[in-house]
Every structure is written in structure tokens, then in C-alpha cells.
Amino acid sequence: MNQQLSNQVLLTARQVANLLNISTRTLWRLKSAGKIPPAIRVGNSVRWRREDLNSWIEEGCQTPISVDNVPRRKG
């Protein structure tokens, strides 16, 4: 993790996607499926607590990140 991310308490979707090495679209799918730690709303923005993500990663990502199991929108 780079120095800039390590100093931040709340991370944006793009930062979380970069941290997990996934696309932002996959991140939103995982969030909808409840497969990642919950996000918080700050005004109109969605943020993730860095501490929650670090703990989740250290615990081995209890819910596996698998795009195959994430529901996709039809349309």
C-alpha cells in the first residue's frame, strides 16, 4: 500500500478497487452482494474505513472475492 493510502482513514471506491486489485465495477457488485466490509455514506459519497479493509484482508478476506458469485444486473 502506498504512503498516500496509508495516511487516509476513509477510502473512495477507486482506492478500494486499487487496493484489492479489482475494477470499480466489480467492487460495486461485491458491495451489493455483501461480500466486502460495509461502506459508509458521507453526504452523497460512499467510503470504506481503511481499518475495516485492512482487518478483513489480514483475516484472509473471509468472504471470497469471486466475480462468478456476484449477481449482475440484467439489461
SS3 letters for the chain? CCHHHHHCCEECHHHHHHHHCCCHHHHHHHHHHCCCCCCEEECCEEEEEHHHHHHHHHCCCCCCCCHHHCCCCCC
Does residue 50 lie within any of the structural domains? yes
Bridge partner list, 47: 40
Whether 75 maps to a domain, the answer reads no
What is the pLDDT averaged over residues 18-29? Answer: 95
Q: Residue 47 — pLDDT band, cuts 50, 70, 90?
A: very high
Domain that holds residue 12: 3-63
Question: Any idea what the CATH number is for the domain that residue 25 is in?
Answer: 1.10.1660
Average pLDDT over residues 41-69: 82
**pLDDT band, residue 8 (cuts 50/70/90):** confident
CA–chain centroid gap for 25, Å, is 11
pTM as predicted: 0.72
Do 71 and 32 meet the contact criterion of CB atoms below 8 Å apart?
yes
**12-36 mean pLDDT:** 95
